[in-house]
Amino acid sequence: MGRLQDRVAVVTGASGGIGRHIAAALAREGAAVVVHYWRSEDAARDLVAAIEAAGGRARAVVGDLTNPDDAAAVVAAASSTFGRFDILVNNAGVARDGLVLRMSDDAWQAVLDTNLTGAFFCIRAALREFLRQRRGRIVNITSTAGQVGNAGQANYVAAKAGLIGLTRAVAREVGSRGITVNAVAPGFIDAGMTGGLSDAVVARYMAQIPLGRAGSPEDVAAAVVFLASEEASYITGQVLNVDGGMVMH
């Protein structure tokens, strides 16, 4: 029996990259999973089919998380589909990189809206259920960039740093009600947004990683499963870096 048997999770941005692996890992541990997507319907449905083929339960749900009504509907799909709601994983994110002097207002706002405000909308909707049942797990996917900064990513870094602050604020608000709120901060992960980097940039990152390798999406997913499980019931307001030691505090 898996660590998340009979639990129900919502994973935002689950159609590709790290989100896909998080959703699959939660399902392998016994959770039913709401697979959220915005534009990648085929990928989301493929993931649902793969989870079901392996004996799990999943449902694909579309939603624009920058719209509070859509975000609330995505979260509500857990209870309406599977009868309960236990775990929210805020993974959805976008990047529109550029130097500050050249960054458009739209590029700034689009990243903040999805990566930070969208997570807030989902958390607010989830808490309405979690507070009522006096239990729940929230795991926010931030980034080591939000801890140390990256040139050319002011919007992304600001959003991810904001997500760390949001994690800690909500953890303090709801801890007495049996709800834990934590964050996972991936470092250099071989998936999704890192795919287009040059060899020189990759080499520069590798030189900063004591373990000497890029991380995998499975590494991140394992951290999420742990924080969502009963094993982490006395952990809240924390940021778990999955970065091979690249950032040490």
Q: Hey, is 159 helix, strand or coil? A: helix
Residue 18's CB is within 10 A of a number of other CB atoms, namely 28
Contact 114, 92 (CB under 8 A): yes
Calpha distance 92→75 (Å, rounded): 13
205 is annotated as an active-site residue? no
Closest CA to 187 of 122, 133, 142: 142
Question: What would the DSSP string read from start to end of 56-120?
Answer: --EEEEE--TTSHHHHHHHHHHHHHHHS---EEEE-------B-GGG--HHHHHHHHIIIIIHHH
Please count the residues of the chain: 249
Calpha distance 81→228 (Å, rounded): 20
The catalytic residue among 37, 156, 205, 234 is 156
Calpha distance 118→91 (Å, rounded): 10
Q: Hey, is 18 helix, strand or coil? A: helix
Catalytically active residues, by annotation: 156
